[in-house]
């Protein structure tokens, strides 16, 4: 039952990164590449129509995590206190940027909120990557100092950084060179994903140019991926064990690499959906591979004294998990139904829609 909920929550969070991920990416592209007012407006709108629906996936994922794995929820939210509050600020400024830009027809007003949307999106992508880096690297569970736990074994508290910026130090911070590399990978991946969304969803004048941008970013991503695979082994030496013991898990890295390779053909293939599907594979494969390499651990311990958090030592009771299953499945069927309805009415290119304003 723990495994089932683990898979459900992983799926919900992966969908969040795929859906809100294109919003973050759209923000990044908007910040650097949208020049004319018409492009800016339509690109902002392609994100603005959907951000709150996309964000619900995060809220729902958080809620399900709280219900199924309360100890894990309590541990990571308090342990990553400051970075999470920063993420909250960024989420707020991202939303303000999208919601406020068209409220007044004034250039300065629009510039302020465009920047707010773009910069927050960029930093959100970075922070979510950094978060993944932290989960892979592990934390000092129990806050060990001189061989003694300062808190109960499943609590920790991470500063934003320590002066060495090294993931290998005894008390690493949130930001170190490893988590920054993962953060940059997230930024590049989501920028590609956002560019694909703009191509899919709008007729903006930069669509052609974006295919070139995607191609070049993809080369960068390939380089970064290779680097990260090398340093990954240094930071988390056990990360290949699962793939060796259970070879079917190799499916997940294959998903990632098929997306990565597929994107090199973006200029040849005319269909707008193609690129978006490829970057979706990229995100899906990236997240699932990372999780699969850790399983059943969900937060590794960097010390010998306190054991890592797993789906088994943080879950609630069997009864709670199985009750949740009943309404959970019902709820997910409803959500799929909403998505189909939304697609029916809000599908297609943004600039060709007639909202009846």
Partner 1 sequence: MEDMIFYDRLQFAFTITFHYIFPQLTMGLSLIIVYFKWKFLKTNIEKYNNAAKFFMKIFAINFTMGVITGIPMEFQFGTNWAKFSELTGGIIGQTLAMEGLFSFFLESSFLALFIFGEKLMGQKLHLLTGFLVFLGSWASGYLILATNSWMQYPVGYEILENGKFVLKNFSALFSNPWLLPAFLHNQVASVVTSSFVVASIGAFYILRNKNLEYGKLFLKTGVIFGLVSSLLIAFPTGDLNAKNVAKYQPAAFAAMEGIFETEDAGAEIVLIGQPDMVQKKLDNKIAVPNILSFLTYQEWDKQIAGMDQFKKEELPSNIPALYYSYHIMVGLGTIFIAIMALAVFLLWKRKLYSFKPLLWSILFLVPFPYIANITGWYTAELGRQPYLVYGLLKTSEGISPNVSSGNTLFTLLGFVALYMLLGLLFLILVGKTIYQGPTHQKH
Residues 304-343 that bind partner 1 (CB under 8 A): 316-317, 319-320, 323-324, 327-328, 331-332, 334-335, 338-339, 341-342
Near partner 1 by CB under 8 A, which window of 19-27, 120-128, 147-155, 228-236?
Answer: 147-155
Site for partner 1 in 236-255 (CB under 8 A): none
Q: Which of 1, 11, 31, 96 binds partner 1 (CB under 8 A)?
A: 96
Q: Binding to partner 1 by residue 165, rule CB under 8 A? A: no
In the complex, minimum distance from the CB of residue 350 to partner 1, in angstroms, rounded to a whole number? 10
3-state secondary structure of 357: coil
Whole-angstrom Cα distance, residue 240 to residue 232? 10
* 95 is a contact residue toward partner 1 (CB under 8 A): yes
Binds partner 1 by CB under 8 A, chosen from 4, 73, 161, 274:
73
> Residues of 196-206 as b/e, b for ≥16 C-beta within 10 angstroms?
bbbbbbbebeb
- Options 98-106, 169-177, 227-235, 292-300: segment touching partner 1 (CB under 8 A): 98-106
Helix axes 2-33, 37-48, angle to 10 degrees: 170
Secondary structure (DSSP) of 78-126: HHTHHHHHHHHHHHHHHHHHHHHTTTS--HHHHHHHHHHHHHHHHHHHH
Tokens coding 293: 């390499």
Q: Which is nearer to partner 1, 11 or 91 (CB)?
A: 91
Query: Which residue, 178, 139, 169, 135, is CA-closest to 157?
Result: 139
For residue 88, the minimal CB distance to partner 1 (Å) is 5
- Shortest Å, Cβ 48 to partner 1: 10
**Binding mask 25-64 vs partner 1 (x if CB under 8 A, - otherwise)?**
------------------------xx-xx-xx-xxx-xxx
Q: How far apart are CB 243 and partner 1 at their closest, in Å?
A: 31
d(CA 278, CA 255): 9
**d(C-alpha 35, C-alpha 285), whole Å:** 33
């Amino acid at each position: 039952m723990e495994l089932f909920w683990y898979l459900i929550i992983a799926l919900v969070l992966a969908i969040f990164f795929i859906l809100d991920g294109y919003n973050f990416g759209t923000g990044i592209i908007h910040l650097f590449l949208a020049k004319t007012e018409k492009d800016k407006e339509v690109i902002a709108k392609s994100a603005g129509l959907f951000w709150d629906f996309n964000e619900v996936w995060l809220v729902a994922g958080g809620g399900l995590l709280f219900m199924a794995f309360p100890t894990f929820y309590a541990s990571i939210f308090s342990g990553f206190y400051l970075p999470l509050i920063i993420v909250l600020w960024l989420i707020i400024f991202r939303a303000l940027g999208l919601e406020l830009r068209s409220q007044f027809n004034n250039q300065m007003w629009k510039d302020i909120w465009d920047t707010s949307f773009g910069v927050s999106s960029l930093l959100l992508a970075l922070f979510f990557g950094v978060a993944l880096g932290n989960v892979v690297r592990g934390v000092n569970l129990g806050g060990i100092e001189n061989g003694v736990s300062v808190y109960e074994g499943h609590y920790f508290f991470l500063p934003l950084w320590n002066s060495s910026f090294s993931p290998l130090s005894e008390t690493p911070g949130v930001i170190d060179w490893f988590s920054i590399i993962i953060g940059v990978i997230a930024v590049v991946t989501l920028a590609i994903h956002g560019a694909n969304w703009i191509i899919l969803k709008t007729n903006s004048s930069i669509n052609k140019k974006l295919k070139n941008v995607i191609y070049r970013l993809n080369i960068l991503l390939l380089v970064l991926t290779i680097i990260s695979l090398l340093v990954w082994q240094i930071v988390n030496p056990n990360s290949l064990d699962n793939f060796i013991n259970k070879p079917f898990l190799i499916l997940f890295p294959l998903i990632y690499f098929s997306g990565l390779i597929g994107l090199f053909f973006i200029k040849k293939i005319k269909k707008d959906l193609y690129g978006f599907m490829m970057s979706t594979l990229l995100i899906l494969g990236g997240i699932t591979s990372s999780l699969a390499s850790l399983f059943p651990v969900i937060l590794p311990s960097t010390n010998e004294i306190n054991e890592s958090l797993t789906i088994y030592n943080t879950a609630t009771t069997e009864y709670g998990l199985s009750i949740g299953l009943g309404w959970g499945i019902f709820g997910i069927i409803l959500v799929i139904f909403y998505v189909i309805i939304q697609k029916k009415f809000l599908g297609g290119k943004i600039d060709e829609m007639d909202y009846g304003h």
